[in-house]
Amino acid sequence: MDAGLAIYAPTEQTNEQPKLVFTSRYPLQKLDSTKLAVNQNIDIFFSHEPPNPDGTVTKYQRNLIFQYKHGYDYATDIPSSWFLVSRINYAPTFGRNSGQLQSVFPYGPEGIYLTGGGSFPLISSAVFVATVDNQSVNFYIDKYYDAGSGFEAPTIAGSAIIVSARIYAEDLTGNSLA
């Protein structure tokens, strides 16, 4: 390393090699503390149902439910992101009943089922999806429904989730160490 900060612990014996206790060689993963949007816990209440596909001609539909500017204002680069979804008032359970998934888990990353029925992959389901581009964070509910499957269309109206969103300055170009 030709520049930066390195901290070594003092040695106690003459021949002992100094122990590196800190180095700035590896850049920290950084949240900009001056941008409120990059470090948020967002409560989302579904007062009505995100539209389902008709289940015959179309069996998949993506619904944009919320979008916001993350504030990094990059020309083309995409900031890195973490999302953690917490379902409100969901008691964790685990198991199956007549082949139908009954498990309910209170936490999960972007891309998780909020509800669903059928064998995996679930035939009738609502999935929370978060995407990030160079300017915005986008939350979607993906709906899967097959009218001929015997399962009801997925419903999440009346439920609520909390999305913990961390949008980091480090981008996805592969140049974080440069």
Partner 1 sequence: MADTGLKIAQAGFDVTTCADYQLLFNSAWPSLAIAFAKTVTLLPDGNMTIPHGLKFPPFTEGWIIQNGISAGRVFGLSEFFESEPQISIELSFDDTNIYLINHDSINSFQIHLKCYYLDISTAADYTNPKPAGEQFIYNPDYGIKIVKSGKDIDSTDLRDFSIHSRAQSPAVSSIVTEATFSSDTNLSSITYINSSGYNPWVYAFGGPSIGGKIRYSPIPNGPQQTGFLFQSGATSYLSYANNSGFGGSLVVLRDPLFASHTSSVVY
Beta pairing partners, 161: 44, 87
Q: Looking only at residues 63 through 82 of this chain, which bind partner 1 when binding is defined by CB under 8 A?
A: 65-66, 76, 78, 80-82
Contacts of 142 (CB under 8 A, 6+ apart): 60, 61, 62, 63, 126, 127, 129
Q: Is 48 in the site for partner 1 (CB under 8 A)?
A: yes
User: Which of 15, 33, 89, 97 touches partner 1 by CB under 8 A?
Assistant: 33
Q: State how far the Cα of 72 lies from the Cα of 38, in Å rounded to an integer.
A: 9
Cβ atoms of 84 and 176 closer than 8 Å = no
Q: State how far the Cα of 90 lies from the Cα of 67, in Å rounded to an integer.
A: 25
Q: Looking only at residues 104 through 143 of this chain, which bind partner 1 when binding is defined by CB under 8 A?
A: 105-113, 120-122, 125, 127, 129-134, 142
User: Which of 13, 75, 94, 97 touches partner 1 by CB under 8 A?
Assistant: 94
Residue type, 123: I
Q: Is 46 in the site for partner 1 (CB under 8 A)?
A: yes
Q: How far is the CB of 119 from partner 1 (least distance, A)?
A: 9
Q: Is 147 in the site for partner 1 (CB under 8 A)?
A: no
Q: Is 10 in the site for partner 1 (CB under 8 A)?
A: yes
Q: Give the CA distances from residue 58 to residues 39, 54, 144, in Å, rounded to whole numbers and listed in that order.
A: 36, 6, 9
Q: How far is the CB of 29 from partner 1 (least distance, A)?
A: 5
Q: How far is the CB of 12 from partner 1 (least distance, A)?
A: 10
